[in-house]
Amino acid sequence: MQADEKPVLSTRDLTIRFGGHVAVDAVSCDFHRGTLTAIVGPNGAGKTTYFNLISGQLAASSGHVWFNGEDITRMSVADRTLRGIGRAFQLTNLFPGLSVRENARLAVQAHQRMGMDLFSMADSHVELIQRAEHILAEVHLLDKAEQITSELSHGDQRKLEVALMIAIGPQVLMFDEPTAGMSVDEVPIVLDLIRELKQDKDRTILLVEHKMDVIRSLADRIIVLHNGELVADGDPAEVIASPVVQQAYLGVAPEEKEEGAHV
Amino acid sequence: MMMKLLSGDSPRSKMLSAVLLLILFGLMFAPFLFPGTRSLDTAARICIFIVLVASYDLLLGYTGVVSFAHTMFFGIGAYGTALALVNMGASYSAIVLGTVCGALVAGAFAFVIALFSLRVKAIFFAMMTLAVASAFLVLISQLSGITGGEDGLSYRIPREMTPAFKLIKEKVLGVRLNGKLITYYVVFFSSLCLFLVLLRMVNSPFGRVLQAIRENAFRAEAIGYKVVRYRSVATILSAVMAALAGSLMAIWLRYTGPATTLSMDIMVDILLMVVIGGMGSMYGAVIGAVLFLLTQSYLQDLLGILQESLGSLPVVSDVVSPERWLLWLGILFICSIYWFPKGVVGRLRGT
Amino acid sequence: MSDSLIKPRIERPPLSEVIEAKAPLFLVPVLMLIGLLAIGSGSTWLTLTAAGLAMGMMIFIMASGLTVIFGLMDVINFGHGAFISLGAFAGFTILGLLGGWIESPSIALNLGAVLLAVAFAMLVTGLAGYGFERLIVKAVYGQHLKQILVTMGGLVVTQQLIYVIWGPDEIVLARPTAFQGSFVVLGAAIEKYRVLAIAIGLALFVAMRLVLSRTRIGLLVRAGVQNGEMVEALGYPIQKLFLAVFMVGCALAGLGGVMWGLYQETITAHMGAEVMISVFIVVIIGGLGSIEGCFIGAMLVGLLTNYTGFLIPKLALVSTILLMGAVLMWRPQGLYPVVKAH
Amino acid sequence: MSDALLTLKGVHTHIGPYHILQGVDLVVPRGGVAVLLGRNGAGKTTTLRTIMGLWQASQGAILFDNAEIQKETTPAIAQREIAFVPEDMGIFTDLTVHENMLLAARSGAIDKERLNWIFGLFPPLKTFWQSAAGNLSGGQKQMLAVARAIIEPRKLLLIDEPTKGLAPAIINAMIAALRELKEMQTTILLVEQNFSMARAVGDTVAVMDDGQIVYSGEMAELADDAELQEKLMGLSLEAHQ
């Protein structure tokens, strides 16, 4: 990690409140090119909300999101996506009634900004289809290109989810629990995929994940959210061992006294 | 060549291809195959409604948006042409100017409605369009100084397009080649062109985005499509197409009134045609329009016969009376939403 | 237990927010005032205002069922208009049978006939609502697109069935003797029937509010609007509640139908679908799912229709559309949205 | 197995394409507090929701009081005297605290004595008795959610992460409440991520991972076995120190 290089993505005092509840509380963090950062924290810590603020599904109450030196805090989801922030969702989020190829083709087409083309035939843009197929090959789905997406296995849907993200040519890739709800034999496929994506040093990867073994094998850095606040940031081994993480995951300290009093 | 005309969207079923060819053939030679004023009128209406229903399907079937303002746009087109013909006299330039203005006004109206209500739930949009379209209908009926009110407008069209004009003196295949015939072919070929344009639109990159939005608007936004913008454009395009169909109607009937263009009954008819024919397939519009209009024109005769044979039974004869054909279509409509949502086209394709 | 952290604390909202929240309450008086200024003549204004309120009350009766159903079940019944017509026909059938009562000068007999007609109409529409929910709506909960289409289909079929049962012609019936004619108040003629309509509408509004705030069923409805799943987890079968509310909503449409029919003195199978336009505008203005919003919206629409109907007759309906546009620019979700439209 | 109030046998649950529960076997003894531990996404919440009938088990059996309930509707299950505190608390925010409680009292009236006992456990509820529940703080809402579940005696309480996002003092109030309930012989199935909370109240414990129970036993055993804790929690803390 080159610390002197300008960050690709950074958040400054990023905050969102729902009523009185502060879900993400003044989180400032930089993400650099070529790194994979894992975001951990217990349930309800604000990880997915933090993702939503970066990719634009939620509007920040205060604070800023910067991307390549541009303030994107008030930008629409589509604009952020076109600028290069890709997102794979926690719950698979695809076009269920369309074929796998069409799913990928749509994402490539969005990247080429050809959506408003009204009078050419979609199927006549061969280079687009080839690009889509190339991406499907990358995630090992090319042989299922003709299938209707809703008929795919869950693991394959997750792969397609990743394919859609790659197809938009992202600089930042955000994975929200990519292995959740997957069977044991499907998990390594997705992890290998992330590992491959990581090879490209132009890419910046953000990963929300709970399985510590996964994090240890993939992450360059860990940040910990707890009750919406960023409580730890640094080298994976150190952060995992830090008391603050221990406390966030295993419970609160005052309890020990209580225990003593009662037992 | 053929595929290019169809924009690569083949019927994908022998049965469906056969039916479509039959319809195309039937409409193309309608004046010779089914002589008579009533059948020619039915054929022309079918042509116009195919465009109208197909343009509605662009919105409902492809984009997943329910609008009840489609007849308003149809009416705007019709009144545009009608007003031009009334005020400028029976000239071709009046037709062109009226048609263009009608389409532009329809597009502008659609833009305003989209601006107000496309960001919110589908239900909201449906209610809003229903209210606006109804108010428009009332307004047109009341501004009788301009629109002729409830009575509508009757006007002349260029002489070459009227029955009075004879192309040649002799009959061909027992049919007189007069101006009415010319008008029919103007309607037929315009409708064919408009339909092919719509078919191209839904198979263009744009059309695919609409399908993506229908399937999952949230994700469409998250791969970089501005959903509201696409929905708005689809609404505008659909409105413009409906207005053009309205202009054809104005020319064909040489009369424009609330009942023939704006009424909510027509809106319901369009809905029935789209759903029974098959949502999300332009061919569904063709099948739906043909089926519905033939039923409307001829099923009544059939039910009339049925009723006579059941004449003695009091309730039964009421239920099958020719005036109650809409009851049966309504039931068919509800059934198709539940059991074959892809309509007749879906059935024919075996999906 | 350290009390500092669980110390009771509720923040008081700033004054501006309180005013903003109450602002819709001022709309009706403001509109009345504008009406007075525009019309000039006090007695004309009074007549129009009474007419507007009466019309608003009747629309409220029809719209309240629709909006409660939407709030609780997330269902908009585009076939609601059919129940208005159905109620009118059912009620008029009874009134037709009780012709002697209606023509008699006795207020008691007049009122008795109307009450019987209303009861029968509500019974018929309530039962029809039962069938409608089971046959048509139940299978499409949560699927808006299908819901709109299928209830629209239901509208067509019900209208046709009305034709089958009552024939295709409109039915004309004079109001009972006691409700014909007008009172004269401060030099303004106010139709007796309008006073009755206002009374019934107000009574219904108060009753609905009481039922919703004071009874267990009301509690369940309010809870169900927010979180149906939790209501079930507390042990209440929400499907039955849905069905009951749907039937009540349809019965209210029936009540509204009879009243609207008596107001117009003419009924057709299409009348419901026609009034529905105002009903939809009212529901949108009020905010989906809200009784209070619906009530205010109905008053605004009723008054505005009558004022513009007097001032610029041709723009009566269009003016309500403009009102809707204005309200939505101010509050994109309507005055008091219970259910967010996004 | 007469001492088991609730038994899950090989329960599978699918949600759309997701196969969340993949054969869950779980026993909740009568009169005890069973704790279900596990990391995010392990299937704990799904287990509770499946018991409540909010999601349908695609396979397997759920026995409550020796009756099979896996095919029953949620209201029917709730009427078997099971109370549920969902992860999001399920508070009716537009209703007052009073109305929330009233709705939970299925008999139609609130028992005064029991209410006073609850006020003792959660004093803020008394203060805000007539306020809209939406104005309560997160911790107060959680108190209300638990209070609602115990407003009438129930045979079984299902509580989903009552400590999520709460301040320590409120967590301690929760612990105190659960301990009192325990003394009253109420059977509780508690989903937790916070191990110290779990240790403070649990009699038995089951650990879930990837939709299955990977460990079950006495809480005391797990509490004493640091190595086992590490293995099960997936956070090998000391190993890196």
CB within 8 Å: B116 and C315: no
Q: Which pLDDT band holds residue A20 (cuts at 50, 70, 90)?
A: low
Mean pLDDT of chain A: 84
Three-state secondary structure along chain B?
CHHHHCCCCCCCCHHHHHHHHHHHHHHHCHHHHCCCHHHHHHHHHHHHHHHHHHHHHHHHHHHCCCCCCHHHHHHHHHHHHHHHHHHHCCCHHHHHHHHHHHHHHHHHHHHHHHHHHCCCCHHHHHHHHHHHHHHHHHHHHHCHHHHCHHHCEECCCCHHHCCCCEEEEEEECCEEEEHHHHHHHHHHHHHHHHHHHHHHHHCCHHHHHHHHHHHHHHHHHHCCCCHHHHHHHHHHHHHHHHHHHHHHHHHHHCEECHHHHCCHHHHHHHHHHHHHHCCCCHHHHHHHHHHHHHHHHHHHHHHHHHHHHCCCCHHHHHHCCHHHHHHHHHHHHHHHHHHCCCHHHHHHHCC
Mean pLDDT of chain D: 86
**Segment D170-183, tens digit of pLDDT:** 788 888 899 999 88
Can you give the pLDDT at residue C342? Answer: 42
For residue D33, report the phi and psi dihedrals to the nearest 5 degrees: -105, 115
When pLDDT is averaged across residues C122-134 and rounded to a whole number, the result is: 94
Neighbours of C11 (CB within 10 A): 8
Q: Tell me, what amino acid is at C35?
A: G
Q: Please provide the DSSP assignment of A131-158 as one string.
A: HHHHHHHHTT-GGGTTSBGGGS-HHHHH
Can you give the pLDDT at residue B311? Answer: 62
A251 interfaces chain D, CB cutoff of 8 Å: yes
Q: Which residues contact B346 (CB under 8 A, 6 or more apart)?
A: B278, B281, B284, B340
Can you give the pLDDT at residue A19? Answer: 64
Rg (CA), chain C: 21
**Segment D160-173, tens digit of pLDDT:** 988 876 777 778 88
- Chain C residues 10-49 with CB within 8 Å of chain D: 10-11
Rg (CA), chain A: 20
pLDDT at C13 over 70: no
Nearest to A212 among D169, D175, D235 (CB): D235
Nearest CA to A98 out of A110, A90, A107 is that of: A107
Spatial distance between the Cα atoms of A259 and A236, rounded to a whole number of angstroms: 32
The reported pTM is 0.86
Spatial distance between the Cα atoms of B90 and B107, rounded to a whole number of angstroms: 25
CB within 8 Å: C233 and D84: yes
pLDDT at C8 over 90: no
Domains of chain C: which residue ranges?
A: 42-272
The SS3 call for residue C190 is strand
Nearest CA to B245 out of B289, B202, B214 is that of: B289
Nearest CA to D138 out of A41, A230, A20 is that of: A20
D161 interfaces chain A, CB cutoff of 8 Å: yes
Q: Which residues contact B313 (CB under 8 A, 6 or more apart)?
A: none
Helix (H) or strand (E) holding D157: strand D156-160
For residue B108, report the phi and psi dihedrals to the nearest 5 degrees: -65, -45
**D139 vs B313, higher pLDDT:** D139
Spatial distance between the Cα atoms of A240 and D239, rounded to a whole number of angstroms: 10
Can you give the pLDDT at residue B351? Answer: 62
What percent of chain A clears pLDDT 70, i.e. is strictly above it? 88
Strands A36-40 and D18-29: unpaired
**C5 vs C111, higher pLDDT:** C111
Can you give the pLDDT at residue A240? Answer: 77
Q: Tell me, what amino acid is at B17?
A: S
**Angle value at C-alpha C182, between C176 and C188, nearest 5 degrees:** 165
Contacts 24+ apart (CB under 8 A), D72-80: D73/C232, D73/C237, D74/C229, D74/C232, D74/C233, D75/C232, D75/C235, D75/C236, D75/C237, D75/C238, D76/C237, D77/D51, D77/D52, D77/D53, D78/C232, D78/C233, D78/C234, D78/C235, D78/D52, D79/C235, D79/D106, D80/D155
Q: Please provide the DSSP assignment of D170-219 as one string.
A: HHHHHHHHHHHHHHTT-EEEEE-S-HHHHHHH-SEEEEEETTEEEEEEEH
Can you give the pLDDT at residue A250? Answer: 53
Residue A169 token pair: 């040519």
Q: Which of the residue ranges A130-134, B47-51, B93-97, D92-96 would you say has the lowest mean pLDDT?
A: D92-96
Q: Which of the residue ranges A66-80, B200-214, C161-175 would you say has the lowest mean pLDDT?
A: C161-175
Can you give the pLDDT at residue B318? Answer: 64
pLDDT at D236 over 70: no
Q: Which residues contact A187 (CB under 8 A, 6 or more apart)?
A: A179
**Segment A166-209, tens digit of pLDDT:** 999 899 999 988 877 666 677 788 888 899 888 888 899 999 88
Nearest to A181 among D20, D175, D194 (CB): D20
Residue of D nearest to A23 (CA): D165
- Which of B68, B113, B134 is the mutation pick for testing C, counting most C CBs within 10 A? B134
- List the subunits that have 3+ CB pairs under 8 angstroms with B: A, C
C8 interfaces chain D, CB cutoff of 8 Å: yes
* Contact (CB, 8 A) for B142 and B149: yes
Q: Which of the residue ranges A234-243, B286-295, B316-325 would you say has the lowest mean pLDDT?
A: B316-325
When pLDDT is averaged across residues A76-99 and rounded to a whole number, the result is: 89
Nearest to B224 among A82, A96, A102 (CB): A82
- Residues belonging to chain B with any Cβ–Cβ distance to chain A shorter than 8 Å: 4, 7-8, 200-201, 203-209, 211-212, 215-216, 218-227, 230, 233, 237
When pLDDT is averaged across residues C109-122 and rounded to a whole number, the result is: 91
**Segment A148-174, tens digit of pLDDT:** 998 887 778 888 999 999 999 899 999
Q: Which pLDDT band holds residue A83 (cuts at 50, 70, 90)?
A: very high
Spatial distance between the Cα atoms of A248 and C338, rounded to a whole number of angstroms: 37
- Which of A93, A113, A121 is the mutation pick for testing B, counting most B CBs within 10 A? A121
Residue B133 token pair: 């379209």
Q: Which residues contact C119 (CB under 8 A, 6 or more apart)?
A: none
Domains and CATH numbers, chain D: 4-81+154-240 (3.40.50.300)
Q: Which of the residue ranges B138-142, B212-216, C142-146, D177-181 would you say has the lowest mean pLDDT?
A: C142-146
| Residue range B2-348 in CATH 1.20.120 | no
For residue A144, report the phi and psi dihedrals to the nearest 5 degrees: -110, 20
Q: Which pLDDT band holds residue B12 (cuts at 50, 70, 90)?
A: confident
**Segment C215-245, tens digit of pLDDT:** 998 899 888 888 889 999 999 998 899 899 9
Residue D192 token pair: 């937790």
Can you give the pLDDT at residue B121? Answer: 72
Can you give the pLDDT at residue C21? Answer: 74
When pLDDT is averaged across residues B90-94 and rounded to a whole number, the result is: 92
Shortest alpha-carbon distance between residue D101 and chain C (Å):
11
> Would you call B14 exposed, middle or buried from its count of C-beta atoms within 10 A (0-12, 13-18, 19+)?
exposed
D73 interfaces chain C, CB cutoff of 8 Å: yes
Can you give the pLDDT at residue D234? Answer: 53
pLDDT at A1 over 60: no
pLDDT at B202 over 90: yes
Domains of chain A: which residue ranges?
A: 1-84+172-178+203-263, 91-169
Q: Does A contact B via 3+ CB–CB distances below 8 Å? A: yes
pLDDT at C7 over 60: no
Residue D83 token pair: 């109370």
Can you give the pLDDT at residue A183? Answer: 65
Give the best-scoring range by mean pLDDT among A37-51, B96-110, D119-133. B96-110
**Segment B221-239, tens digit of pLDDT:** 999 999 999 999 999 999 9
ipTM above 0.90, yes or no: no
Strands A9-18 and A70-71: unpaired
pLDDT at D57 over 50: yes
Query: How remote is the C-alpha of A179 from its chain's centroid?
Result: 12
**Chain C residues within 8 A of B327 when measuring between CB atoms:** 156-157, 160-161, 163-164
Helix (H) or strand (E) holding D14: strand D4-15
Residue C44 token pair: 């004309």
pLDDT at C35 over 60: yes
Spatial distance between the Cα atoms of D13 and D105, rounded to a whole number of angstroms: 30
C-alpha distances out from residue B12 to A97, B2, B351, C294, D61, Å = 17, 14, 11, 50, 46
Spatial distance between the Cα atoms of C150 and C138, rounded to a whole number of angstroms: 11
User: How long is chain D?
Assistant: 241
Shortest alpha-carbon distance between residue C153 and chain D (Å):
30
When pLDDT is averaged across residues D111-118 and rounded to a whole number, the result is: 92
Can you give the pLDDT at residue A182? Answer: 67
Residue of A nearest to B280 (CA): A97
Can you give the pLDDT at residue C155? Answer: 93
**Angle value at C-alpha D103, between D98 and D104, nearest 5 degrees:** 100
Residue of C nearest to B318 (CA): C164
Buried b (16+ CB within 10 A) or exposed e, C216-232: eebbbbbbbbbbbbbbb
**Segment C70-115, tens digit of pLDDT:** 888 888 889 999 999 999 999 999 988 887 787 877 888 888 889 9
Spatial distance between the Cα atoms of C283 and C295, rounded to a whole number of angstroms: 9
Spatial distance between the Cα atoms of D154 and C198, rounded to a whole number of angstroms: 49
pLDDT at A252 over 70: no
* Contact (CB, 8 A) for D195 and D229: yes
Outline where chain D has alpha helix (H): 44-51, 74-79, 97-104, 112-121, 123-127, 138-149, 168-183, 195-201, 219-224, 226-233
| Residue range A1-84+172-178+203-263 in CATH 3.20.20.70 | no
Q: Please provide the DSSP assignment of A221-258 as one string.
A: EEEEEETTEEEEEE-HHHHHHSHHHHHHHH--TTHHHH
Residue C55 token pair: 């019309």
Q: Tell me, what amino acid is at C203?
A: A
